[in-house]
Amino acid sequence: MRIHIGCEMSFDFPQETPLIAMLNVHYSRASDLERPDFLTSNPPVPIESYRDSFGNWCNRLVAPPGRFSFGTDAVIRDPGTFEIGDLMAWQHEVRDLPSETLLFLLPSRFCESDLLADDAWRLFGHTPLGIPRVQAVCDFVHNHLVFNYGNARPTRTAAEAYREQSGVCRDFAHLAVAFCRALNIPTRYCTGYISDIGLPKPWASMDFCAWMEVYLGGRWHAFDPRNNAPRIGRILIASGRDAADVPLTHIFGPGTLAGFKVWTDEVVE
């Protein structure tokens, strides 16, 4: 399957404003792109690209005063089938984990696994190890939180979402990440595209989404506590400890969001 993906963001800036944009497809899917998904801007400005400490592709630039737009546009090849999990993936003992995964066992800015450890073991300590335990976490989070754009806030942590029982996709992911880390399962936060291809219409307006990846059986596996169901066209942009590591934009100054569009559409031959 070929999927047309991309986004466009517009801001009103009162002055020259530096920013970082993290909107390119992750290097693990770069070979699936039919052409590079370069970041472009209107008006055009110099853009410098680099990789962060997690390997994510970032773009830094200085936006001029006034209305400023930027985004990406590409076509990516995808299997076009619903995701299939590996039910046999085992859970590693901590002593056997690769060193590069240990960072994803630790508490982070939005995922306070230390504060939620007692609840994690009370809720999930009786479940089978590995994939069944992670799925139990996703089932709980999916049912415990109510999705609500209206009360979203950028500072909500996993512990706060747990108490408030409300949030958006990043809150679902943060809470599930925190629980899994408390259960000694390396877990990283992911952001990217999730299409509605294969689902009944009408479809809601497209947005970027958050999910998580857990390290089991020697590799990373995607889990989505917000949707809690297999999807077609899950396309990773970036991963890190939590949303603080992988913001779509990081703006160093005042600015007002004036427009936001995301698309993930099947290309019909």
Query: Mind listing the pLDDT tens digit of every residue in the chain (269 residues)?
Result: 999 999 999 999 999 999 999 999 999 999 999 999 999 999 999 999 999 999 999 999 999 999 999 999 999 999 989 988 888 899 999 999 999 999 999 999 999 999 999 999 999 999 999 999 999 999 999 999 999 988 889 999 999 999 999 999 999 999 999 999 999 999 999 999 999 998 888 777 788 999 999 999 999 999 999 999 999 999 999 999 999 999 999 999 999 999 999 999 999 87
The C-alpha atoms of residue 9 and residue 61 are separated, in whole angstroms, by 14
Question: Does a cis peptide bond (omega within 30 degrees of 0) precede residue 107?
Answer: no
- In CATH terms, 94-240 corresponds, of 3.90.960.10, 3.10.620.30, 3.40.50.2000, 1.10.630.10, to 3.10.620.30
The residue ranges of every structural domain in the chain are 2-79+248-266, 94-240
Q: Which parts of 78-200 are beta strand (E)?
A: 146-147, 166-167, 187-194
Q: Do residues 76 and 25 lie in contact, with contact meaning Cβ atoms separated by under 8 Å? A: yes
The C-alpha atoms of residue 210 and residue 188 are separated, in whole angstroms, by 11
Choose among 122, 147, 118: nearest CA to 207: 147
Per-residue tokens: 164: 């408030």
Choose among 7, 27, 4: nearest CA to 209: 7
Q: Is the dihedral of CA 182, 186, 189, 193 positive or negative?
A: negative
Q: Do residues 30 and 237 lie in contact, with contact meaning Cβ atoms separated by under 8 Å? A: no
2-79+248-266 maps to CATH 2.60.40.2250: yes
Rounded to two decimals, the pTM is 0.95
Crossing angle of helices 169-182 and 131-144, in 10° steps, is 140
